Copies of this chain bind each other. A is one copy, B any other.
């Protein structure tokens, strides 16, 4: 019998602790250690604050730092270090839950940690618990439908380029731009150039207190929340 602990990836949903699943809650109550990465040493992880509110009791936490950067080489060593921290707990026979806001398989760093854990410990028992993603949460709170049954959709992480936006907005029904906070002014400029500004809505605060605006231009120069997105109605509108 292996004395290795079990590794969990747990989606804690978009922000409201009530939007966690029963399964996620049960796993978080049962594990020995919760791993919650943070972007800076002195800044608490959003996922961890959701867990704290939901569990309402003390628990052991490890918090690797994942700096916000687009430089893949620089960040890979942070992911490696996180995998090392997690492995060291698992090897003591302790179970570890890596928590992510939203859903673990959907634009989350869990994807990179999972890859590393599979490489480090080939026979590791891994269980991933899906969560409600931020797109679903935002649109639910605002009662805005996303996709009807025949609609074609694209999702672009805007921080990594908008080359495809022009053609996608012409051929598909919906284009969602994720992670728009870091280059918001540039994105608005591009939407303007492509005559898409009037077909776009801005949403933020998903899972906590949702906010939306159909006047994207009015958001210029404002502080844009990290979990904001822009939804563009394409061709069919």
Contact = CB atoms under 8 A, between A and B. Distances in A.
**So how many copies of this chain end up in the complex?**
2
A141 B23 CA distance: 13
A25 interface: yes
Contact of A154 (B11, B22, B112, B172): B172
A56 interface: no
A13 B131 CA distance: 9
Contacts of A16: 23
B152 A105 contact: no
Contact of A22 (B19, B115, B167): B19
Contacts of A14: 130
Given A18-B21, A18-B22, A132 B103 contact: yes
Contacts of A149: 107-109, 111, 157, 160, 179
Interface residues of A, number: 62
A132 B172 contact: no
A114 B145 contact: yes
A167 to B, nearest CB: 7
Contacts of A20: 21-22
A18 B11 contact: no
Nearest to A117: B143
A147 B25 contact: no
Contacts of A156: 152
A152 to B, nearest CB: 5
Contact of A21 (B9, B26, B129, B132): B132
A179 to B, nearest CB: 8
Given A19-B22, A105-B136, A141 B128 contact: yes
A19 B25 contact: no
6 contacts: A13-B21, A105-B140, A132-B132, A133-B133, A149-B179, A153-B154
